[in-house]
Amino acid sequence: MRQELVIGQGEKPAIIHLDKLNRHGLIAGATGTGKTVTLKVIAEKLSKAGIPVFLADVKGDLASIAEPGELSEKILERAAKLQPEDFEPRAYPVELLDIFGANGVPVRTTISDMGPILLSRLLGLNETQEGILNIAFKVADEKQLLLIDIKDLRAMLNFVGDNATELRREYGNISKQSIGAILRGLLVIEEQGGDLFFGEPMFDIQDLLKTDAAGRGYVNILMANRLFMSPKLYSTFLLWFLSELYEQLPEVGDLEKPKIVFFFDEAHVLFQDVPDVLEEKIELIVRLIRSKGVGVYFVTQNPTDLPNAILSQLGNKIQHALRAFTPKEQKTVKAVAETFRQQEGEELEKKLTELKVGEALVSFLDPEGIPGYVQQVMIYPPESKMGILDPLVKEEKINRSLLYYKYSEAIDRESSYEQLQRLSEIKAIELEENEELAARDREKAEQLKQLEIEHQKQKEQTRQKRTSSSRDSTMDRFTKNLMSQVGREVGRVISRGILGILKK
């Protein structure tokens, strides 16, 4: 098996080394310059090399990798010029995934699994509200209570609100307004389809790491057309996928080839209005996921939309043409030209603006891991179809997917919504019991009046003792009930990863 991918040809072939794929990369360029086709060509080569791919199809022009391409004049011309090895129209093995479950295998996760950091991002919470959400998760986690869907989280938040006085001692102030704001945020998410993607069975990230019978890596395509309409939802889910990979895969160091390559299309939305803390965490995950055998490739129109701490980690770069009409664009061109290792007098700025569609300036890490000199290349034509995936083929792919049978049916196990509901019933019964107790106490006190002072004192002490111990035992039972009612025995301490998702 070759140890490299060839994706185009200039004076020399454009070569990405398999063992350097985990050093991450960038595909950038103005609109219409060839980013998507380049991504497709790379995905094809990865699949051929037995490496699974994960990508999000935002515009609906990537899923057609599941169909063989048409040998149009343009494609034939390009192929004749570049002479790609073993070129022929081919379809690649795909798994279509959809958060909304309409255009692919439903991808679900639980509220507990997504965790407070990503959920805060999803809900667009401010710091105070995020604090409250953290408390809700802390209480749930400590009690090993699994929050599965939105109604669970709502129940949990109401629970936290109702018990604010008790919880304050341990967790600090809990304001009703903040709880109200989070609840309203949940409504918005629900309107965007939250009832579809929070639930069970939860998607197992290991299902992305598949090869077909011929040893080709699966191209896992998140159908993100609708998802991208809410960029926050889109970026949060991609971060969730990335975190799952990070938290679940073992440390492996540098492999001969990665376990999976992850493409982050429209990557600029990832860092839009992101608080510094979250940005640092994303950078950390990107840096650390390398040694888990995952390569991350950012696809964006303007590379300067990505933070420097990310850009500096991207070893394999493909830069399509940039426009330079406005002063701001000219500045970008200059900045991008400077990021390449180049020989004297290359005039990269000029080249960057004059590249034709499907041409790029590229620089890949050499076998020693040193950035190669920048070179201008023409990208190979794709073997698979360009354009939209045929709806019939889409249906067939979904219906034939084994994953579809694994995930198609949502299950609604008893979760904390039901548990908390029962809990409040239990609490009501307890309250009644307490009232009865109190009534009896009053009666007794009445009788005590008739008794001697000494005796009365003694009695009074017992009563006080009993009232306080009865209050304690209410709290105890309350906690115990909360815990014993857990639908799924977590049976272990819940711990969370860098981006706050549940560790398995």
Ligand X SMILES: Nc1ncnc2c1ncn2[C@@H]1O[C@H](COP(=O)(O)OP(=O)(O)OP(=O)(O)O)[C@@H](O)[C@H]1O
Query: What residue ranges bind ligand X (CB under 6 A)?
Result: 29, 31-37, 59, 78, 301, 357-358, 379, 381, 386
| Residue 69 near which of ligand X, Mg ion, none (CB within 5-8 Å, type-dependent) | none
Q: Which two tokens stand for residue 3?
A: 């140890």
59 to 98, contacts with Mg ion by CB under 5 A? none
- If binding is defined by CB under 5 A, does position 33 make contact with Mg ion? no
Instruction: Pick the closer one to ligand X by CB: 58 or 150.
Output: 58
- If binding is defined by CB under 5 A, does position 300 make contact with Mg ion? no
Min dist CB 53 to ligand X, Å, is 16
Across 293-358, where does the E strand assignment appear?
294-300, 316-319
Q: Which two tokens stand for residue 119?
A: 């959920």
Instruction: Pick the closer one to ligand X by CB: 75 or 153.
Output: 75
| Residue 495 near which of ligand X, Mg ion, none (CB within 5-8 Å, type-dependent) | none
Peptide bond before residue 93 is cis, with ω within 30 degrees of 0: no
Q: Which stretch binds Mg ion (CB under 5 A): 7-15, 36-44, 111-119, 277-285?
A: 36-44
| Cβ pair 387, 64 in contact under 8 A | yes
Q: How far apart are the C-alpha atoms of 125 and 117, rounded to whole Å? A: 10
The candidate with the shortest Cα–Cα distance to 338, out of 323, 313, 319, is 319
Instruction: Pick the closer one to ligand X by CB: 17 or 268.
Output: 268
- If binding is defined by CB under 5 A, does position 363 make contact with Mg ion? no
Kindly state the helix (H) or strand (E) to which residue 379 belongs, with its residue range. strand 375-379
Min dist CB 34 to ligand X, Å, is 3
Min dist CB 67 to ligand X, Å, is 15
Min dist CB 224 to Mg ion, Å, is 12
Min dist CB 74 to ligand X, Å, is 6
| Residue 217 near which of Mg ion, ligand X, none (CB within 5-8 Å, type-dependent) | none
Longest distance between any two alpha carbons in the chain, whole Å: 113
Min dist CB 56 to ligand X, Å, is 13
CB atoms within 10 A of CB 207: 18
Contact pick of 22, 33, 36, 64 for Mg ion (by CB under 5 A): 36
Q: How far apart are the C-alpha atoms of 428 and 434, rounded to whole Å? A: 10
Q: How far apart are the C-alpha atoms of 317 and 310, rounded to whole Å? A: 13
CB-based burial, 147-175: b 16+ in 10 Å, e otherwise: bbbbbbbbbbbbbbbeebeebeeebeebe
Min dist CB 35 to Mg ion, Å, is 5
User: Which amino acid belongs to residue 44?
Assistant: E
Min dist CB 386 to Mg ion, Å, is 11
- If binding is defined by CB under 5 A, does position 103 make contact with Mg ion? no
Min dist CB 380 to ligand X, Å, is 6
Instruction: Pick the closer one to ligand X by CB: 35 or 257.
Output: 35
| Residue 64 near which of ligand X, Mg ion, none (CB within 5-8 Å, type-dependent) | none
| Cβ pair 202, 87 in contact under 8 A | no
| Residue 379 near which of ligand X, Mg ion, none (CB within 5-8 Å, type-dependent) | ligand X
By beta-carbon distance, which residue lies closest to Mg ion?
Answer: 36
- Calculate ∠ Cα 217-281-312, nearest 5°: 70
Instruction: Pick the closer one to ligand X by CB: 37 or 157.
Output: 37
| Residue 357 near which of ligand X, Mg ion, none (CB within 5-8 Å, type-dependent) | ligand X
| Residue 31 near which of Mg ion, ligand X, none (CB within 5-8 Å, type-dependent) | ligand X
Instruction: Pick the closer one to ligand X by CB: 27 or 289.
Output: 27
User: What distances in angstroms separate CA 107 from CA 102, 104, 132, 207, 399, one per listed residue?
Assistant: 10, 9, 27, 11, 15
Map residue 161 onto helix, strand or coil: helix
- By CB under 5 A, the count of residues binding Mg ion is 1
Across 149-283, where does the E strand assignment appear?
219-223, 260-264
Interacting residues toward Mg ion by CB under 5 A: 36
